């Protein structure tokens, strides 16, 4: 994705993919290379505010495993002209910093969504286990189910507290990349684990679209990918630990 200066405009050319609300949205923050030869590669990028118009089209709507309540699309820019006044920050080369600046809040946001998914899976599993009966009693009275419910509840509470800690630091203007990374890592993994445990509690009915548990199972993995993969979160956490606790 490139942007070249042409008089009072910039001309954007290239494609963007996996853009949330790409089909129905009208205005987007676009990261583009204004200096193709800059090293390292993350330098030389600038951010623009772009509204749909001539040269700016939706290439296709992407079909997804989960998270279907909002669209994801490919955006195509073919000599799309954007006024130079739409350059965020008023100077070239600051795009990467603008993008990274929103990651702490973005990771807290994803972590909070992870807590919601993990809690929904727990609530549905708990309710179903109280209604479903085998061998003359509700399955919540079977030890195997009790072990799953206990683990699910513990994950929800631990994830919630991590998110609360990270959000509290962010709200007071403190640096919280370590806390946001921990919250995002743990809460998203809790969502995946709880959704799978909920499916096991539901048994065969977990494969039916009559229950929400199958949707939780499809939606949860996105939390491990969005706003930086969990593998990246682990690296960030380790680096911050070393930085904050030098030998």
In this structure, what token pair is assigned to residue 183?
């919250």
Quote the tokens at residue 84.
């130079």
Query: One of 179, 214, 227, 243 is an active-site residue; which one?
Result: 227
Token readout for 114 is: 């992870």
Map residue 126 onto helix, strand or coil.
helix
Q: Is 227 a catalytic residue?
A: yes
DSSP output for 45-113:
EEEEEEESBTTEEEEEEPP-SS-TTS-EEEEEEEEEEEEGGGBGGGSTT-HHHHHHHTHHHHHHHHHHH
Give dist(CA 204, CA 183) in Å, integer: 32
E strands present in the chain: 2-6, 9-20, 27-33, 45-51, 56-61, 72-83, 133-134, 137-138
What contacts 24+ positions apart, CB below 8 Å, involve 129-137?
Answer: 129/201
Active site (catalytic) residues: 227
């Amino acid at each position: 994705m490139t942007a070249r200066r042409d008089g009072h405009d910039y001309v954007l050319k290239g494609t963007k993919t996996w853009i949330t609300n790409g089909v129905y949205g009208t205005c987007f923050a676009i990261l583009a290379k204004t200096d193709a030869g800059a090293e390292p590669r993350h330098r030389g990028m600038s951010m623009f505010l772009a509204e749909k118009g001539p040269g700016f089209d939706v290439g296709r709507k992407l079909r997804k495993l989960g998270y279907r309540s909002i669209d994801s699309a490919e955006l195509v820019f073919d000599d799309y002209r954007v006024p130079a006044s739409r350059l965020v920050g008023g100077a070239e080369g600051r795009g990467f910093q603008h993008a990274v600046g929103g990651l702490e809040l973005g990771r807290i946001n994803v972590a909070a969504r992870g807590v919601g998914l993990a809690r929904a899976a727990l609530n549905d599993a708990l309710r179903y286990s109280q209604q479903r009966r085998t061998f003359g009693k509700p399955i919540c009275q079977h030890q195997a189910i009790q072990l799953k419910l206990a683990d699910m509840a513990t994950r929800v509470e631990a994830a919630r507290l991590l998110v609360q800690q990270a959000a509290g630091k962010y709200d007071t203007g403190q640096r919280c990349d370590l806390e946001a990374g921990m919250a995002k890592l743990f809460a998203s993994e809790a969502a995946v684990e709880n959704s799978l445990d909920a499916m096991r509690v539901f048994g065969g009915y977990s494969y039916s679209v009559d229950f929400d548990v199958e949707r939780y199972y499809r939606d949860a993995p996105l939390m491990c990918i969005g706003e930086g993969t969990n593998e990246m979160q682990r690296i960030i956490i380790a680096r911050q630990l070393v930085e904050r606790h030098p030998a």
